[in-house]
């Protein structure tokens, strides 16, 4: 029986290195690798093909995912899950690796409880919001994209003596925003996990402006929905002409970093080995405190990701 890989949900840099390593390693283990194109939708539509080395030649440096991805409403319906299972049987596949987030893993948990299919999940989301896990594929590249963009925005901010509000992705998780704000020396940072004392921020920054500061960078996580508010706040309270820059989907693309590629390889090897052994499957490979392990879907689904307190302790508005 074969082993298939698919991507589900948002794309993340590191998926293509994982896909390449999957094909190479599965053949090394004398098994057959398969691609499921376009995620759960492709699983339902039988968009499944055996993968070969030439399919993954030259993809290591590319962002996105050559096999596509999707979000599927149809998979919520049992008749479509039955169709997906029948498609796997047609292709002699009994094991799946899923690159995705918690929603994708919950969908596979339901699927594998209904049918005799094994799966292993690999956290792949720039939001980095999987509970019990320090690192998801894609986040390191996204942080570097944000760093590059914000460094360039700082050039303009300092030249024109302006305030700039930079909105970053992350849904309800402030990891991208908090980490980027620390690394880029932002004066202000708004994330869902921490309340910013704007009165105190105003007092400190006004003193700095009186002592020669002539620009301010503010990072805002999309989940707090206060980008426009902060543009007005900086203009009115600090007296700086202020612009906003919403980085948007550029954060999901780009060449995966060296760290991303190496971690993709590690995740894949551990997932394939688990599936071949056939023991303790239907779990998610996680990376916590420098170690790989597996967690149950129930834990991931019912636990909230918590940003490392060390990062939160470094957050302040004193640039």
Looking at 194, 223, 252, the residue that finishes a domain is: 252
Domain tally for the chain?
2
Contact 189, 177 (CB under 8 A): yes
If asked whether residues 29 and 121 sit together in one domain, one would say: yes
Query: Do 269 and 133 reside in the same domain of the chain?
Result: yes
Residue with tokens 């094991």: 95
* pLDDT tens per residue across span 269-310: 999 999 999 988 999 999 999 999 999 998 998 899 999 888
Residues 68 and 100: beta-carbon distance below 8 Å: no
Burial bucket for residue 176 (CB in 10 Å: 0-12, 13-18, 19+): buried
Residue 314 lies in a domain: no
Same domain? 178 vs 131: no
Q: Are residues 21 and 158 in the same domain?
A: no
User: pLDDT for 225-243, tens place per residue?
Assistant: 999 999 999 999 999 999 9
Report which of 42, 147, 155, 24 is spatially closest to residue 98, judged by C-alpha positions.
Answer: 42
- Asked if the model's pLDDT at residue 315 lies above 90, the reply is no
pLDDT-derived band at 4 (thresholds 50, 70, 90) equals: very high
Q: What is the pLDDT of residue 318?
A: 45
Chain center to CA of 303:
17
Q: Has residue 317 got a pLDDT over 80?
A: no
Question: Does some domain include residue 315?
Answer: no
For residue range 259-280, list pLDDT tens digits in order.
999 999 999 999 999 999 998 8
- Residues 162 and 288 placed together within one structural domain of the fold: no
DSSP 202: H
Tally DSSP H helices, then E strands, for the chain: 11, 11
Tell whether 162 and 98 lie within a shared domain: no
Active-site entry in 11, 109, 127, 140: 127
- Would residue 316 count as lying in a domain? no
Mean pLDDT of 43-52: 98
In a domain, 171, yes or no: yes
Cα 67 vs. chain centroid, distance in angstroms?
A: 17
Q: What mean pLDDT is predicted for residues 215-222?
A: 96
- In this structure, are 124 and 144 located in the same domain? no
319: in domain:
no
The residues near 235 (Cβ < 8 Å, ≥ 6 apart) are 163, 241, 242
Query: Does residue 314 register a pLDDT over 90?
Result: no
The tokens describing 132, both together, are 């019990």
Confidence of residue 38 (pLDDT cuts 50, 70, 90): very high
For the beta carbon of residue 284, count every other beta carbon within 10 angstroms: 28
**pLDDT above 90 coverage of the chain, percent:** 92
Shared domain check, 110 and 65? yes
**Domain extent at residue 47:** 2-138+256-302
Q: Looking at the structure, do residues 145 and 127 belong to the same domain, yes or no?
A: no
The answer as to whether 318 is a domain residue is no
pLDDT over threshold 90, residue 1 = no
Q: Is 45 a catalytic residue?
A: no
Residue 191 lies in a domain: yes
* Boundary of a domain, candidates 218, 234, 252: 252
Asked whether the predicted pLDDT for residue 216 surpasses 60, the reply is yes
Q: Do residues 75 and 39 make contact, with C-beta atoms less than 8 angstroms apart?
A: no
Can you give the pLDDT at residue 278? Answer: 92
Give the model's pLDDT for residue 316: 66
Question: How far, rounded to the nearest angstrom, does the alpha carbon of residue 98 sit from its chain's CA centroid?
Answer: 14
Query: What mean pLDDT value characterizes the chain?
Result: 95
- Alpha-carbon gap, residue 308 to 301, rounded angstroms: 19
The string of DSSP letters for 66-134 reads: TT-----SGGGSHHHHHHHHHHHHHTTEEEEEEEE-HHHHHHHHHHHHHSS-EEEEEEB-TT---TT-S
103-160 pLDDT, tens digit each: 999 999 999 999 999 999 999 999 999 999 999 999 999 999 999 999 999 999 999 9
Q: Which of 129, 84, 97, 133 is nearest to 15 (CA)?
A: 97
d(CA 145, CA 127): 14
d(Cα 307, Cα 284) in Å, to the nearest integer? 19
CATH of residue 21's domain is 3.40.50.450
pTM for this entry: 0.94
CATH of the domain at 179: 3.40.50.460
What percent of the chain shows pLDDT beyond 70? 99
CA distances from 288 to 61, 131, 285 (A): 26, 10, 10
pLDDT band for 319, please (50, 70, 90 cuts).
very low
Residues 243-258 have pLDDT tens digits of: 999 999 999 999 999 9
Task: Place 87 in a pLDDT band, splitting at 50, 70 and 90.
Answer: very high
Residues 155 and 54 in one domain: no
Residue 236 lies in a domain: yes
Q: In this structure, what DSSP letter does residue 9 have?
A: S
Predicted confidence at residue 279, as pLDDT, reads 85
Q: Which two tokens stand for residue 283?
A: 């779990």
Q: Are residue 247 and residue 264 in the same domain, yes or no?
A: no
Task: Indicate whether 31 and 125 sit together in one domain.
Answer: yes
Average confidence (pLDDT) over 168-197: 94
């Amino acid at each position: 029986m074969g082993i298939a890989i698919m991507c589900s949900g948002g794309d993340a840099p590191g998926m293509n290195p994982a896909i390449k390593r999957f094909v190479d390693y599965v053949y090394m283990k004398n098994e057959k690798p398969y691609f499921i194109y376009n995620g759960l939708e492709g699983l339902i539509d039988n968009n499944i093909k055996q993968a070969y080395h030439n399919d993954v030649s030259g993809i290591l440096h590319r962002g996105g995912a050559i096999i596509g991805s999707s979000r599927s409403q149809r998979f919520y319906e049992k008749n479509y899950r039955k169709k997906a299972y029948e498609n796997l049987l047609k292709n002699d596949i009994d094991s799946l690796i899923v690159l995705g987030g918690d929603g994708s893993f919950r969908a596979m948990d339901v699927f594998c409880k209904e049918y005799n299919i094994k799966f292993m999940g690999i956290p792949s989301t720039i939001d980095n919001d999987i509970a019990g896990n320090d690192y998801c594929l894609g986040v390191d590249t996204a942080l570097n994209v944000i760093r590059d963009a914000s460094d360039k925005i700082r050039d303009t901010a300092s030249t024109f003596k302006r305030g700039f509000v930079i909105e970053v992705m992350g849904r309800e998780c402030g990891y991208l925003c908090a980490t980027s704000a620390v690394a880029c020396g932002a004066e202000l940072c708004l994330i869902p996990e921490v309340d910013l004392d704007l009165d105190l921020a105003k007092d400190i920054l006004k003193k700095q402006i009186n002592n020669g500061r002539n620009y301010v960078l503010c990072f805002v996580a999309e989940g707090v929905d206060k980008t426009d508010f902060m543009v007005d706040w900086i203009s009115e309270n600090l007296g700086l002409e202020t612009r906003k820059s919403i980085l948007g989907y550029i954060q999901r693309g780009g060449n995966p970093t060296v760290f991303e590629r190496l971690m993709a390889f590690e995740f894949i090897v551990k997932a394939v080995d688990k599936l071949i052994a056939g023991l303790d499957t239907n779990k998610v490979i996680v990376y916590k405190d420098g170690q790989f392990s597996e967690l149950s879907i129930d834990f991931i689904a019912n636990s909230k990701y918590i940003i490392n307190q060390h990062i939160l302790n470094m957050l302040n508005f004193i640039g």
